Amino acid sequence: MKFQTVKYDSIFTRLDFRSKLVVMLTITILAFLWESPIAGGILMLSVIASCVLAGVRLNYLGTILKVMIPFYIFLILSMGFFNIEQVKLLTNKSELTPLLSLPPTWWFLGGAKMSLEGTLYGLNIVFKTLTMILVIPLAIFTTDVNQMTVGMVRAKIPYKVVFIFSSTLRFVPLLLEEVQSIIESQRLRGLNFEKMGWLKRARVYAKVAVPLILNSLSKSQKLEIVLQSKGFSGSSNRTYLHESALTTSDYLLIIGSISLFVIAIALYFGLGIGKFAWLIYT
């Protein structure tokens, strides 16, 4: 129900949100840039290890993996079977290495071949998306919303954008609590979710969306009235209850992230480290 799921103090919770933003930006750009499944896999494992060390709950990480598994299976299969021309350009090969062949008698997909290179490319996309998904809780879950807001303002982000972002972080847990309350109300009326099939359960959850949307609209209207009554202007020239200050650890992290980014870019374009064929084909 909460965004801030970290339960104990660590070096991640003591860092300023501005340094975490630099880390998020660096990791996201590198994950988007690197085509190699080896480099992408190392980066993904590093982010997962950092999440565990930061105290992000394992059940949250497991939920992310469970939700994304069907999409990832479809992605790997589609890339392995159909992503041919792009992989040929990346590997400079005229023929790809066959990994699996379907019988010619099969309808529609008969005779299709799953290539090793296409499968590796699909794995790289899996690593990319997981890295970019998991780097978000590494920064957000370890930062108080108030500290996050002040840090973004100190980073010269427009205050209206910061306010929308912080309001979203505060509203989502409330919406989740309302969903839970609506479901509990349905249970008290004798609705047994455990004995329902997946199709009937989906219909029930769809009906939950109607009161949820109405309550959300009501809350947003009340928030608008409160902001107007207080003369909200969206200016960052205001007083703040919480402070945001960069420490030595923050400066070291920012310098290290920028240095890693520059070195990675130089190695990528200079030596090809991080490209698709790195450590796979010579």
pLDDT value, residue 228? 78
Backbone angles phi and psi of 57, in degrees to 5: -65, 140
User: If pLDDT is split at 50, 70 and 90, which confidence band does 281 have?
Assistant: low
What pLDDT is attached to residue 127?
A: 93
**110 confidence band (pLDDT: 50, 70, 90):** low
Query: Is the predicted pLDDT of residue 243 greater than 90, yes or no?
Result: no
Is pLDDT of 1 > 50?
A: no
Average predicted confidence (pLDDT) for the chain: 82
Structure tokens given for 60: 């949250």
Q: Tell whether the model's pLDDT for residue 25 goes beyond 80.
A: yes
Q: Which of 54, 14, 25 is nearest to 246 (CA)?
A: 14
Compute the distance between CA of residue 23 and CA of residue 208 in angstroms, rounded to an integer.
38
Residue 93's pLDDT band (boundaries 50, 70, 90)? confident
- What pTM did the predictor assign? 0.76
Contact 36, 280 (CB under 8 A): yes
Query: 117: which DSSP letter?
Result: H
CA distance 208 to 211: 6
Amino acid (one-letter) located at 52: V
The pLDDT assigned to 197 comes to: 73
Question: What tens digit of pLDDT does each residue of 158-199 get?
Answer: 888 888 887 777 777 777 777 777 777 777 777 776 677 777
Residue range 44-58: mean pLDDT, rounded: 88
Question: Where do runs of H (alpha helix) occur along the chain?
Answer: 11-14, 17-33, 37-54, 58-82, 85-91, 116-140, 145-154, 159-188, 198-229, 248-271
Q: What is the SS3 assignment for 75?
A: helix
| 113/135 Cα distance (integer angstroms) | 35
